[in-house]
Amino acid sequence: MPKHEKSQERYQIEEKPDEKELKAREVLSTFSNKFSFGRVTIKNVGALRVLNSTCLPVHYRNWFYDGIFDREEKYARIVSFNDILVGGVVFNKDDVSSYYIMSFSVLKQFRRCKIGTYLMNYVLNVAKDDPAIKRIHLNVHVINKSAIDFYMNAFGFVQKKRIEKYYKTLKPSSCYELEKEITH
Ligand SMILES: CC(C)(COP(=O)(O)OP(=O)(O)OC[C@H]1O[C@@H](n2cnc3c(N)ncnc32)[C@H](O)[C@@H]1OP(=O)(O)O)[C@@H](O)C(=O)NCCC(=O)NCCS
């Protein structure tokens, strides 16, 4: 198989992205046309693991990555640039009416060029397609200012509460629970 086809097989998700997906991708096309978008597969899950361990202060174990394949594939998304995985989100339906964002990462060198915006718009689009979903929520370390700015300023998440002793291995150990309501 020619190299470019192999790469498409690795990263491409659906043959025909719908209108909302195309719109979500538009934000990135301003920066480059070398981005591609995909689902998490057995072939790229290792790269997602490396990305998350590079970007996040907490490390996820095997069950986290295995769990991606127990759920519908729409609950995880990656962005690659020239075959390098540069962004990824993993989320899940944690009760009948809410989604929980489990991990959200963009490679440092690629930040502030709207990869996070694409990924969040992807999650919002999935949520909007599910009439039962009323909110999206997540936990963020209290000192993670850039992520808090991203969620609250760029996407209108609000702070629901501060949870003390949330992280076993981080100091401070507190997180904020942030939430965004979904209107259909
Ligand atoms: C948070 C994160 C995912 C944002 O990804 P990103 O691709 O850089 O975000 P975008 O380029 O889409 O930014 C969209 C907007 O969010 C806000 N924002 C993003 N990063 C910001 C920062 N460091 N400081 C202030 N505002 C920021 C800005 O309003 C930005 O718009 P602008 O660049 O036009 O000003 C990224 O910084 C990251 O991976 N951080 C490390 C991992 C992490 O903390 N994940 C969250 C765990 S809960």
Q: What is the mean pLDDT of the chain?
A: 92
**Ligand 1 pocket, 144 CB below 6 A?**
yes
Q: What is the pLDDT of residue 14?
A: 52
In the chain, domain spans: 3-181
Please list the residues that pair with 77 across neighbouring strands: 89
Q: What is the pLDDT of residue 29?
A: 83
The backbone torsions φ and ψ at residue 152, rounded to the nearest 5 degrees and listed phi first, read -85, -45
What is the C-alpha to C-alpha distance for residues 11 and 6, in angstroms, rounded to an integer? 9
Q: List pLDDT tens digits, range 66-76.
A: 999 999 999 99
Token couple for 164:
């003390």
Q: What is the pLDDT of residue 15?
A: 59
| pTM metric for this prediction | 0.93
The backbone torsions φ and ψ at residue 82, rounded to the nearest 5 degrees and listed phi first, read 50, 45
For the beta carbon of residue 13, count every other beta carbon within 10 angstroms.
Answer: 16
**Ligand 1 pocket, 109 CB below 6 A?**
no
The domain covering 3-181 belongs, at the CATH homologous superfamily level, to Gcn5-related N-acetyltransferase (GNAT) (3.40.630.30)
Name which residue sits closest to atom 48 of ligand 1, judged by CA.
Answer: 140
Q: List pLDDT tens digits, range 101-122.
A: 999 999 999 999 999 999 999 9
Contact at 8 Å (CB) between 88 and 64?
A: no
**Distance from the alpha carbon of residue 4 to the mean position of ligand 1, in angstroms:** 30
